[in-house]
A and B are shown apart, each in its own frame.
Chain A
Amino acid sequence: AQSVTQLGSHVSVSEGALVLLRCNYSSSVPPYLFWYVQYPNQGLQLLLKYTTGATLVKGINGFEAEFKKSETSFHLTKPSAHMSDAAEYFCAVSDQRGYSTLTFGKGTMLLVSP
């Protein structure tokens, strides 16, 4: 069975600081990995995903994530936080069955202070 662990239910940064949201996964097969963002009272928006190929994945809004197989990690980063980045972020893993496969982490709320 696959699982996702997001370290820290809340992460606080100052505007302009580095954003680092941590995600570790377990999967019995090579995983597909995802990051989603959710703004208050909205649905989830796909930020980026890793399927195959380059392990450094760039997404929308200046975010990127690196797949590290040896560490079973897929941490999300952004060099400089903006106030508009304040939201909840979810990491997810897929086991390649093609349906009902996404397992989500519990989410990390990113707080950005001026």
Chain B
Amino acid sequence: SQTIHQWPATLVQPVGSPLSLECTVEGTSNPNLYWYRQAAGRGLQLLFYSVGIGQISSEVPQNLSASRPQDRQFILSSKKLLLSDSGFYLCAWSVLRDPTDTQYFGPGTRLTVL
């Protein structure tokens, strides 16, 4: 069966520091991968999605970036964190070319920027 991992589970970082969040999926190949953010009272915001290694699409302009160095690894990064980057970050995957795009979510990372 498929499993999705995210780490770290929680992170407290000062403003201006770098960020690296990692997501890995097991038990499937060539998945679509997604990064979402939940900020208080703002629902789910799609940040990035990837349909293959090195293929990243950004949904919103911001100081975050994403990379997919391996088929089942998705990394969210920032060079300098802002207070507004605080939130709950969720990684998700779906089956490539599944027309329903059913997405399965990881456990999330709680990021607090102070």
Q: Chain A's interface: helix, strand, loop or mixed, by majority?
A: loop
Residue total for A at the interface (Cβ-Cβ under 8 A): 24
Decide: A94 and B101 in contact? CB cutoff 8 A.
Answer: yes
Residue total for B at the interface (Cβ-Cβ under 8 A): 28
Cβ distance A97 to chain B, nearest Cβ, rounded Å: 7
Question: Is B103 an interface residue when CB atoms closer than 8 A count as contact?
Answer: yes
Question: Is A43 an interface residue when CB atoms closer than 8 A count as contact?
Answer: yes
Cβ distance A93 to chain B, nearest Cβ, rounded Å: 10
Q: How far is the CA of A16 from the CA of B100 in the complex (A)?
A: 34
Q: A42-B107, A104-B44, A106-B43 are in contact. Are A98 and B102 (CB under 8 A)?
A: no
Decide: A49 and B105 in contact? CB cutoff 8 A.
Answer: no
4 nearest A-B pairs in the assembled complex, by CB-CB distance: A43-B105, A44-B105, A106-B43, A100-B49
